[in-house]
Structure 1
């Protein structure tokens, strides 16, 4: 699995550079817009380091895109089928949570399926971002427990529970348990998002 994660880290760096250049942004301009240092952006683009989920979300916001749309652009050519061994896996270096992109790439569907394994005690908070307008997600918990904060509302999820949330709202994911939480994200983008 480490080779799969390393390969995706390189794809993330290449995609970040491609999107930055497509918008005519210098490293300095993206650093200023995102609050991420120029040196860190350069290291990510060269595949020397893996960005944390929070750092990558800040870069995506500065680029006017969402984290999920950003990951969709690191995909391989279109196919209606994706074997488990071909599903890109990314590990957040800060919390250790593992994100697997399950959906076949390039199908034109507005729905993405994502599998997540969230370590015990881990916490990730995403600030509200306008780039996520029109994107919603269902979180369906299979194992463990999760505490979610969506805007001002708080939820305690147990196996089998499902939570719907708009991504434009600030969201905090936290695993208060002693075992990993495993869940699916069913993400839907409004046409044109």
Structure 2
């Protein structure tokens, strides 16, 4: 099964990438300030947008399997390697905190006219080339301590897929509740237009 519209290969990737980039730009992720604000826990837009994408994708894959339109064997599930995940997470996290972008948002930023997005993307490009050239020396570390082979979270925990979806939905609902914007109160007395006091001095100006 190939999506969308029976396109396959680069065409499907370009189409989905364009839609994803448009969504990121509309969410305000073309600005590096958005992601750094998330890391400071002052703006939860990044979490809400990306977690919504995770929920939609996970629910869609579950429904496709439930309806018999896609087999689980058709989904590539990589094996987790402990040291590779730890070092990669630290490196990518530090880069996002310092630069304010992830790989996808750096492209969106550059296409929106921001030079810092281009600089960040070039850093990713040259860093990837450098890592690929040095991989044979770091390969033993990258492939050390492999986790369970090709297991989903539900398979790892031994629970049904729908229970994981409910748990993800509960996490999203809890974060949305605790980070909701405070209710806007009406104008207070201190901000109301001042009135002249009823004194003889005030009346003398009338």
Which is helix-richer, 1 or 2? 2
Mark yes or no: TM-score above 0.5: no
Shorter-chain TM range is under 0.3
TM-score normalized with structure 2 length = 0.23
Which one scores higher on RCO, CA 8 angstroms, separation ≥ 6?
Answer: 2
Which is strand-richer, 1 or 2? 1
